[in-house]
Amino acid sequence: LPCPQDLREHRGVVPAECPAIMPRCLWGARPYRGTPAPLQPPLGSVFLHHTLEPSRPCQTFGTCARAMRDMQRFHQDTRGWDDIGYSFVVGSDGYLYEGRGWHWVGAHTKGYNTQGFGIGIVGDFTATLPDPDTLALVRDELLPCAVRFGHIRPGFILRGHRQLGHTDCPGNALFQEIQSWPGFQ
């Protein structure tokens, strides 16, 4: 779907959202294949991921939008999924990117997709952490906002992807970091 004119002019910074979320129309998403399954918020969990590919954090809107299109293409064409798997993806450009968003079941944490949102951070965080502003965007803005707007429950549980599947995701460095975050179990 094309972006409404006002969104294109303001690069998706929608004041009603905290923090601002780049809608699919701005990063150039392909359409969802099939019929998305609705989520039943508020959900009780948030699952944190690293994207692994691209392995380097994206620093500009252009590189982050390209990363989103590449991930969506990989998830749809190679994995055969209906859409990009993540609910949201976090770039190191200061923006959140809408994947499946708040309303549709994702394909991020096998066996748990209806129970929580999957948040991917662009990069490989096996040995290094995302920059402090990117971490703060998730920990201090996205998660409290999601509670405030009724997307996740006040007592939500935060987990790294590796706790629920056979994977190293979200990388050793990031997994170590999130153990001190509110809601981690």
6 inside domain:
no
Mean per-residue pLDDT pooled into runs of 10, the chain (185 residues) = 51 58 94 93 96 90 96 96 97 94 94 96 96 96 94 96 95 97 95
Question: Residue 82 maps to which CATH number?
Answer: 3.40.80.10
Q: Taking Cα atoms as reference points, which of 166, 153, 160 lies closest to residue 180? A: 160
Question: Measuring CA to CA, which residue among 5, 51, 44, 81 is closest to residue 167?
Answer: 51
The pLDDT assigned to 2 comes to 52
Domain range for 148:
21-29+40-179
- The pLDDT value recorded for residue 53 is 84
150: left (phi over 0), alpha (psi -120 to 50) or beta: left
Let me know if residue 11 belongs to a domain.
no
Instruction: Name the domain count of the chain.
Output: 1
Q: Is the dihedral of CA 46, 119, 134, 123 positive or negative?
A: positive
In a domain, 2, yes or no: no
Which residue is associated with the tokens 């409404």? 4
- Strands 96-98 vs 88-90: parallel, antiparallel or unpaired: antiparallel
In a domain, 54, yes or no: yes
pTM for this predicted structure: 0.91
Domain annotation covers residue 97? yes
Domain assignment of residue 109, yes or no: yes
Structure tokens at 149: 């707007």
- In a domain? residue 136: yes
